[in-house]
Every structure is written in structure tokens, then in C-alpha cells.
């Protein structure tokens, strides 16, 4: 089943065009990586898929139905969509606002009308899954960047959405935490759910995605398997996903080697 259809979409931030006549289709149950350098349009696509932004031109459909401001005015539709589709922002400060970590993760389930006993059980399970149970009584705003990222992810996973939209999910995480998050994404829903990840980190690409859409200048310039994208050095160089470092040897000679961009 075609889950999302983005058809000839153009989106502008005032006078700056972020996406131009972009088309993209995502089937249910697939893992898709949106790859591109900063400013390529990755985050904008995620916000369009989540119904936070609406295109200036073109249309975004979810299960065949256009996502419009008017459609989200229907509380029943909006409630069902927010239950099924979850977005984790690149900057967790954009979505953390409750007084404690426990309250943060419990907020979404409470809005869905779950019983308090069910909410508590689900929250404890989500905190344990992300290995942040020891933070349950902490103030989210006082956590480290990596801890905030994991709490933000737990606050979405706790609702067990059908679709997970992730904006740079491993940014600002130490290597162990990155591995934990990747393991969660790979195993989440036994691999049956839809995961769309925006990233410029190529190191984990083959782990997190079955399909890779490379973006450049607000357009999809390649749509291939991750291994094929990683093997295309010309494509990676053209889209600023690799760069060359110059090295000087003792003889005085210099030469360049290409390197993949990594998250800091």
C-alpha cells in the first residue's frame, strides 16, 4: 500500500525555496533514508509528511487523502493521524516541555485517553527500552543533549505509531547511545512499520534503511538502495556528502583523499 505520496511539491520559507516540484512516494512497512547535506530539504519533507507544514504548490497525501490545514481541522482525523504518525525533531528542545521525564513520555498517551495504569506501564517500558529509566524524575530541560534526544524518542515510541519520522536521530549521541538508538529503529515493530529518517550520516545508512533518497537543492537527485548510493562517489561528492582532505607528506608532496561526512 502506498502510504505517502508527495506530488510536485514546492515549499518556500518566505523568499527561499526549500523544495521545488519534488515528488516522492513511500510504501507502508518500508525504511527510507532521506540523505543530503544541510539545507537540502530533508527536515522540510519530514514536516510536510507530519502535517506541520503544508505545500505552497503540489499535494501531500497520506493513504490517498490530501494533508491540508482544513483536513486537520477535523478533530477525529487529526487525533487518528497523530496517533499513527510520530515525529522526533532534530533539536529535542523543540518538543520537550513537561516538568519531568516521566511526564514527558506520558503526555501523548494521556492525550489519547489511555487509563493511568496503562500509561504508567507503557511509559516504564519505553524508558527501559531507551535505557533512560534512571532519568524518570529529572527535569528534561536540564539533561544532556544526548539524554534529551533519547527522551524525545521515548515520548514518540511509547505511543507505538505506525509511522516514525526521524530528523537526525543519532546527532549529539555518544557511540554507545548511537548504537542503542539504531538497534531500536532496526528492531522496532519487528521491522513491519514505516520509518523515514532524515540524515547526513552515511555510517549507519545500510543499518537503518532499505531505500535511500538523496536530496540536493530541494530535489530528489537519486533514489536507490543504500549500498548503491554509498558506492557512487561521484554522487556523494556532487551532493556534498563527502569532501576531500589534503595531506602533506615528508617529501613535500600533497594529495587529497575523499572522506564521508560524519555527525559530530
pLDDT in tens, 98-110: 999 999 999 999 9
The domains of the chain are located at 2-260
Measured CA to CA, the distance from residue 84 to residue 108 in angstroms comes to: 12
Torsion of CA 1, 3, 213, 146, to 10 degrees: -130
Per-residue pLDDT reduced to its tens digit, 145-199: 888 988 999 999 999 999 999 999 887 778 887 887 888 777 776 767 899 999 8
pTM of the model: 0.87
Tally Cβ neighbours within 10 Å of residue 228.
12
pLDDT at 209: 93
- Residue 201 — very low, low, confident or very high, per pLDDT cuts 50/70/90? confident
Q: 30-34, 45-49, 118-122, 252-256 — which is least confidently predicted?
A: 252-256
Residue 254 scores a pLDDT above 90? no
Average pLDDT over residues 229-247: 80
Which region holds residue 190: left if phi is over 0, alpha if psi is between -120 and 50, else beta?
A: left
**CATH number 3.90.25.10 is the correct assignment for the domain at 2-260:** no
Convert the pLDDT of each residue in 5-45 to its tens digit.
Answer: 999 999 999 889 999 999 999 999 999 999 999 889 999 99
Pairwise CA distance, residues 31 & 126, whole Å = 21
Helix H or strand E segment including 258: strand 254-260
End-to-end CA distance of the chain: 37
Amino acid at each position: 500500500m502506498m502510504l505517502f505520496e508527495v506530488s510536485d511539491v514546492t515549499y518556500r520559507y518566505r523568499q527561499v525555496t526549500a523544495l521545488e516540484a519534488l515528488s516522492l512516494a513511500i510504501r507502508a512497512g518500508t525504511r527510507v533514508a532521506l540523505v543530503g547535506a544541510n539545507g537540502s530539504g530533508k527536515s522540510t519533507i519530514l514536516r510536510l509528511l507530519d502535517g506541520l507544514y503544508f505545500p505552497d504548490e503540489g499535494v501531500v497525501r497520506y493513504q490517498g487523502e490530501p494533508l491540508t490545514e482544513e483536513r486537520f481541522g477535523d478533530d477525529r482525523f487529526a487525533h487518528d493521524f497523530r496517533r499513527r504518525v510520530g515525529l522526533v525533531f532534530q533539536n529535542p528542545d523543540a518538543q520537550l516541555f513537561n516538568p519531568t521525564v516521566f511526564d514527558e513520555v506520558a503526555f501523548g498517551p494521556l492525550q489519547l485517553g489511555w487509563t493511568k495504569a496503562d500509561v504508567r506501564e507503557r511509559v516504564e517500558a519505553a524508558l527501559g527500552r531507551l535505557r533512560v529509566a534512571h532519568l524518570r524524575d529529572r527535569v528534561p530541560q536540564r539533561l544532556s543533549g544526548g539524554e534529551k534526544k533519547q527522551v524525545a524518542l521515548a515520548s514518540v515510541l511509547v505511543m507505538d505509531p505506525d509511522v516514525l519520522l526521524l530528523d537526525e536521530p543519532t546527532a549529539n549521541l555518544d557511540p554507545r547511545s548511537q548504537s542503542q538508538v539504531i538497534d531500536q529503529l532496526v528492531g522496532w515493530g519487528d521491522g513491519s512499520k514505516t520509518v523515514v529518517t532524515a540524515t547526513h550520516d552515511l555510517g549507519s545508512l545500510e543499518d537503518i534503511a532499505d531505500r535511500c533518497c538523496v536530496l540536493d537543492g530541494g530535489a530528489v537527485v537519486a533514489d536507490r538502495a543504500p549500498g548503491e548510493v554509498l558506492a557512487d562517489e561521484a554522487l556523494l561528492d556532487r551532493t556534498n556528502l563527502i569532501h576531500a582532505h589534503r595531506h602533506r607528506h615528508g617529501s613535500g608532496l600533497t594529495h587529497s583523499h575523499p572522506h564521508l561526512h560524519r555527525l559530530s
